[in-house]
Amino acid sequence: MRSPSRRLIAAAVATVAIGIGLTVLVLNSPHTHATGSFASPGVYAFYLLLIGWGFAGTGLYAWARRPGNDIGLLMVATGLAWMIRGLGVSGDGVVFSVGELAAPLSFALLAHLLLAFPSGRLETTAQRRLAALAYVNVTVLQLAAYLFTDTTAPYSGCVGCPPNPILIASSSTAASLIIGLQLLCAVVVLVGLVVMQVRRWRRATPGQRRALSPILVTGALTLFFLAAALVGSGSGTAAATDAADFVALSLFAFVPFAFLLGLLRSRFGTAEAVTLVVSSLAGQVGRSGLRDTLAETLGDPGLELAYWVPEISSYVDSEGRPVALPETGEGRFATRISHGGEPLAAVVHDASLEDERSLVQTVGAAVALTLRNERLAAELRVRVAELRSSRARIVEAGDEQRRRIERDLHDGAQQRLMALGINLRLARDLVARDPEAASELLDTSLHELGEATAELRELARGIHPAVLTNRGLDAALRGLASRSPVPVEVIETPADRLPASIESAVYFVVAEALTNAARYAAARCVTVSVLNRNGVVEVDVIDDGIGGADPKNGSGLRGLNDRVSALDGRLELASAGGEGTAVRVRLPCA
């Protein structure tokens, strides 16, 4: 398969060869189908090359700059279609007919170009229907009219033209009716184009209007004067027709160069934009300075900046709030800026700048240092916001824990202790009168005391397990494993005692992970590993459940993250659907 550069070279060579060949044909033709100012073969050849090579050359340049955009190909096709009409001066009937049939094709391609500019795509159903009508008009109706046109008859207006090889019947009436229908379709296409472009212009942002104005104005005026020339030819006003035809072709010749000016302006404007943005930032401080400068430089008042924060793997705005980058088709586009191969920021801008991403990236690269400083500030604001949220959650969790303890004491041990007190008073009153009944009450009291003690022990385990304090982390984790409904394998634990705060955090991380594995993960096996390596305690709890855990939807995991963060640690959760869940915690322990 040939590379794009080879295809471009081949297309350029073919375009030049076709233009030269058709010029020779026109200059040596015994007749011409043109009238007025264009009856001269020299003038006709000049406009043939000016418009054909203008469109094709500009299209090749656009294709080279933006291979993924069809605008370049459309312009090349328009230029080639325009030059092929030059076959209409040939003395051979078949070649002459090809030129005659292809004559209006370039104008349908121009309509398509206007509808698809600048993305190269027909975005709406109305655009696709209007383009289809234009193509039907210049192909199906053009062929239908030609089938009834005798090119040797006076009504054809062609002097010295060869016979029509596909003539069905010579009928000026039929040909005129079909040509009239073509004129009507051309007017519908023109009106539709004007209406769509007016609506498009009214909805456009300043950046979009800057990109749309050159080619839309020249293209619309070209089609307008072309329609005027066609109407004039139908009404028989030769002078008006020639004038409109001259203006239409002159404007048509300017369309590719207007597009080229836009491309060159954007290319040479890159250096100017870099200089402007760097000079404008000099001496500016504050969060809005960079955004305002980029918005002014790129001509998009609605431009926004988003900064990549690796810790949360997300983009945030200048206030540190997470933001989602726009999807394609939302009218906004995000150009990502990288530095040293790592994501740095994203510029959210008008969709009209989508084809100028190189400009946006170049300007972004020029202010990479400022962007990096802004990102650090955004990261700091993220941490501050997270710290505030974490403190609020810790306070809330503490209040909730106190309420739970109060409720559990009230409903459990407190009730048993109150019943124990009543039984002891009754036993005291009965000990002299009925020793046997008193003995039974004392036995009941002993049972209540045992139950109350067990409940208090269980409650204390939830606050801080005694086994962790008395026997260490290994015994505490194996105790958790023995009570878990899911089989748990404790692979390794540190041989030496860790600081109490670290041991407590590890214990509750494992306890929460085992609880989640039993309740939600449908796990069949869980492995627990705790290592103290190079001053970092590494905790890994891995199950073989269904996965899909989300720390944002669980207060338990959020609480653990707060506990770990308070110790300058890091909690990571890997829980892809169907692949189990891995909870990994790293705690500094110098």
Say which residues have a Cβ less than 8 Å from residue 104's Cβ, sequence separation at least 6: 137, 138, 142, 182
Could you please report the per-residue DSSP string of 402-435?
Answer: HHHHHHHIIIIIHHHHHHHHHHHHHHHHHTTT-H
- Measured CA to CA, the distance from residue 530 to residue 489 in angstroms comes to 12
Q: How far apart are the two ends of the chain, measured CA to CA in Å?
A: 60
Q: Among candidates 238, 199, 208, 212, which has minimal Cα distance to 113?
A: 212
For the question of whether the overall pTM of this predicted structure is more than 0.75, the answer is no
Q: Worst-scoring range by mean pLDDT, 166-170, 222-226, 523-527?
A: 222-226
- Residue 527: pLDDT above 90? yes
Question: Residue 528's pLDDT band (boundaries 50, 70, 90)?
Answer: very high
Reported as a single tens digit per residue, the pLDDT across 193-222 is: 888 888 877 776 565 666 677 777 777 777
Average pLDDT of the residues in 496-525: 86
pLDDT score at 14: 85
Q: What share of the chain is helix, strand, coil (3-state, %, to 5)?
A: 65, 10, 20
- Measured CA to CA, the distance from residue 115 to residue 134 in angstroms comes to 11
| Domains present along the chain, CATH in parentheses | 4-268 (1.20.1070), 281-384 (no CATH), 395-463 (1.20.5), 468-588 (3.30.565.10)
pLDDT score at 1: 42
Average pLDDT of the residues in 415-422: 65
- Residue 507: pLDDT above 70? yes
Query: Contact, 296 vs 288, CB < 8 A?
Result: no
pLDDT score at 274: 43
3-state secondary structure of 379: helix
Mean pLDDT score of the chain: 76
Alpha carbon 319 to its chain's center: 22
pLDDT score at 531: 92
Residue 349 backbone dihedrals phi, psi, to 5 degrees: -135, 180
Q: How are strands ordered across the β-sheet holding 570-574?
A: 488-492, 526-533, 536-543, 581-588, 570-574
Average pLDDT of the residues in 305-330: 73
Return the higher-pLDDT residue of 288 and 135.
135
Beta strand 536-543 with 342-350 is unpaired
**Residue corresponding to tokens 């009716």:** 177
Reported as a single tens digit per residue, the pLDDT across 434-466 is: 777 777 777 777 776 776 676 666 655 555 667
pLDDT score at 454: 65
Q: Worst-scoring range by mean pLDDT, 356-360, 416-420, 474-478, 567-571?
A: 356-360
- Residue 280: pLDDT above 60? no
Count of all residues that appear for the chain in the document:
590
pLDDT score at 285: 45
